[in-house]
Amino acid sequence: YNAWLSYPELPQGSLQEQYVKWCGAVSVTETDDTVQAALAEWKQGVASMLGIEVQVQAEAALADTAANAPEHSDGTSAGHVIAFGTFGSGNPLINSVFAEADIRKVGREGFAIRTSAEHNCIAVGASAPAGVLYGVFHLLRLIGTLQPIAALDEAVNPVNSLRMINHWDNFDGSVERGYAGRSFFYENNRFIGDMERVRDYARLMSSAGINAIAINNVNVHALETLFISEYLPQVAEIADKFRVYGIRLFLSVNFAGPMQEGGVGTADPLDPGVRTWWQNKAAEIYQVIPDFGGFVVKADSENRPGPFTYGRDHADGANMLAEALEPFGGIVIWRCFVYNCKQDWRDRKTDRARAAYDHFKPLDGRFKDNVILQIKNGPMDFQVREPVSPLFGALTQTNQIIEFQIAQEYTGQQRHVCYLVPQWKEVLEFQTLAKGEASPVKRIVDGSLWGNRHSGIAAVSNTGNDINWTGHLLAQANLYGYGRLAWNPELSAEAIAAEWIALTFGSNPEVADVISRILLDSWEIYESYTAPLGVGWMINPEHHYGPNVDGYEYSQWGTYHYADNRGIGVDRTVKTGTGYSAQYIGSNAARYESLEECPDELLLFFHHVPYTHVLHSGKTVIQHIYDTHFEGAQRAEGLLSSWQTLKDKVREDLYVQVEQRLTGQAAHAKEWRDQINTYFYRKSGIEDQASRTIY
């Protein structure tokens, strides 16, 4: 339940002795809730990892912190102290350890940390209370991952200013695409009010670096529409808990709110009555939630209402809401997941992949300064493999954030292990070429490439009321990893995995090796036994779990593979296809357009090819399908056997949970293997070169 904040006891050794020596006493002089939350966390972490009860020093005692004070019998040293607080707030240690030059390096949410020999102190100083909390989590993490702390000296600032989680929780307690039980906010159209759980959630999120959470589904139904009116007091209670942990609360809103709540007969964004309605709403919200983050909006998408009904565009809609929030410093996060979901499969011209760019590129520059466009990482929908959305690079005058999906909707639904940090990193590193070679997605979303006022990363949560939060224990690594990556995209997938493992399972290197391999191989394995070469979507309609090659082939959702007896893939070239490849810049467009140059893993996303087409790997497409599916299912079995080497080495209950899931995955991977292989064998009539069993 405490996940990566369970603070396993540290092994005896020189580092542990060093920590014990330092951690006996703490100096904190501020009463601010957030600083006090940091103190509570510090005490809990130190008690649990090191078995010592931290003494909180009063101000008077601080003065005589003597350099050569005696060692106590429990190994703590009276001379050593940890100090934390905001700069200039009256903690004498913070004020003496940090000079003006240090303070200048620390941003709004950052912190400085230094081991000072002179003061016999490890000081964590920040500009604001949230930075203190991040700094304390940082120090706890250093200890939990067995890093030396005797010579710390750095200033740490988050790279992305918005580090957001989107819940798809509904008021009835269900979670759209939720795979970890039900909502811990709502049940049966009421707020559960379990504030302890909300607080623990806020702790977890804050420790991973999250600073913004939208608590309701982007599909806003009738009752959730009233979150900004009737239910505002309960929403405010959650915001109060979040605030302590440096998290701003956001709400998803219904664009047709003014109509549903009555009074206004339209939701036309240019109608003065509608504008006033939203302005009044904003004022009411800020009365009770003074630091309210703003609105998340899914409009004119998958049957949600929006400005199109009134002949207006997305900029009209977003700007109207932005105007209402502006006086209070709120922002509008407008989603770009807009496409025609009523497509006729016979229509080969309409290409869903093109939609976001076609809708939003022409609006670049028209959005107000407090509007952010939220763009899914790929042009389709969180498939195991997609190219990067071409909107990154195309919008040069608009605030934008990327949207990832921590929930594993299309990547095994938290029944299969699929560590997504490597995928997210690949996306963030993608060179858009928007401003020459130095224009990776990460520099667009952190706001540095175009100098945006608002920037960052959002992701769909994978949590629920399951006791371990994420259903599959190993899916916690995605939640943790997302936060860490949003804080600092330079962290490697390996380093993030190593942190999560140590914080969750303790520091046994053998355990760490096995779990790390499982996590780092898992995305590739999942990809290999599911949809090949970037084609995507071979899943059962609606619930999206399990193989069904033609599940979406004749549907209206715009998600096709066009497999017949000769070949497979979607022709998205300019020359003969939908022209999607031209949405990329320069050599990216050329590479995707070219059958020869297109990377193997995206081949079927961009091209329709015969099964005998030879990949860069030297294999034919059909042989690639057979080989990866046989290997994938085998490697899925391998995940289980690796895990089984950990029996008796990790906590029994944790061991069992994961063993069960991996057993299910191994069996289910065979189902994928056999359905996909059989389908393509029957379509193509081409034998497997290795003559393995295909049904």
- Which stretches of the chain bind ligand GCW, using CB under 6 A? 168, 176-177, 218-219, 298, 302, 337, 381-382, 409
Please report how close the Cβ of residue 403 comes to ligand GCW at its closest, in angstroms: 8
How far apart (Å, rounded) are the C-alpha atoms in residues 4 and 489? 20
Considering the complex, state which of residue 408 and residue 588 has its C-beta at the smaller distance from ligand GCW.
408
Report DSSP letters for 447-475, one per residue: STTTT-SSEEEEEE----SSTTSSSSGGG
Q: Does 403 participate in catalysis according to the annotation?
A: no
Closest Cα partner for 591 from 387, 437, 408, 393? 387
Contact partners, residue 243, CB within 8 Å, separation at least 6: 33, 34, 291
Please report how close the Cβ of residue 644 comes to ligand GCW at its closest, in angstroms: 34
Cα end-to-end distance, the chain, whole Å? 44
How far apart (Å, rounded) are the C-alpha atoms in residues 340 and 358? 12
Q: Which of 224, 409, 593, 627 is catalytic?
A: 409
91 neighbors 28 (Cβ within 8 angstroms): yes
Tokens of 23: 């951690």
Considering the complex, state which of residue 219 and residue 644 has its C-beta at the smaller distance from ligand GCW.
219
Please report how close the Cβ of residue 283 comes to ligand GCW at its closest, in angstroms: 29
How far apart (Å, rounded) are the C-alpha atoms in residues 382 and 460? 10
Tokens of 300: 């004119």
Q: Does 381 participate in catalysis according to the annotation?
A: yes
Please report how close the Cβ of residue 166 comes to ligand GCW at its closest, in angstroms: 9
Considering the complex, state which of residue 173 and residue 567 has its C-beta at the smaller distance from ligand GCW.
173
Tokens of 204: 């977890």
Query: Which residue lies nearest ligand GCW, judged by its C-beta?
Result: 381
Considering the complex, state which of residue 297 and residue 666 has its C-beta at the smaller distance from ligand GCW.
297
Please report how close the Cβ of residue 297 comes to ligand GCW at its closest, in angstroms: 11
Per-residue H/E/C for 215-270: CCCCCCCCCHHHHHCCCHHHHHHHHHHHHHCCCEEEEECCCCHHHHCCCCCCCCCC
How far apart (Å, rounded) are the C-alpha atoms in residues 621 and 532? 9
Considering the complex, state which of residue 163 and residue 167 has its C-beta at the smaller distance from ligand GCW.
167
Q: Tell me the three state secondary structure of residue 115.
A: strand
Please report how close the Cβ of residue 452 comes to ligand GCW at its closest, in angstroms: 23
Please report how close the Cβ of residue 525 comes to ligand GCW at its closest, in angstroms: 22
What are the phi and psi torsion angles at 92 (to 5°)? Answer: -60, -35
Q: Which of 381, 386, 466, 527 is catalytic?
A: 381
Q: How many Å separate Cα 420 from the centre of its chain? A: 9
624 neighbors 611 (Cβ within 8 angstroms): no
Considering the complex, state which of residue 170 and residue 431 has its C-beta at the smaller distance from ligand GCW.
170
Task: Give the residues across from 296 on adjacent strands.
Answer: 252, 333
Q: Does 302 participate in catalysis according to the annotation?
A: yes
Considering the complex, state which of residue 221 and residue 692 has its C-beta at the smaller distance from ligand GCW.
221
| Cα distances (Å, whole numbers) of residue 235 to 75, 241, 463 | 46, 10, 19
Please report how close the Cβ of residue 343 comes to ligand GCW at its closest, in angstroms: 15
How far apart (Å, rounded) are the C-alpha atoms in residues 365 and 315? 9
Q: What is the CA radius of gyration of the chain?
A: 26
Considering the complex, state which of residue 20 and residue 214 has its C-beta at the smaller distance from ligand GCW.
214
Q: Which of 33, 71, 154, 302 is catalytic?
A: 302
Supply the residues annotated as catalytic: 302, 381, 409
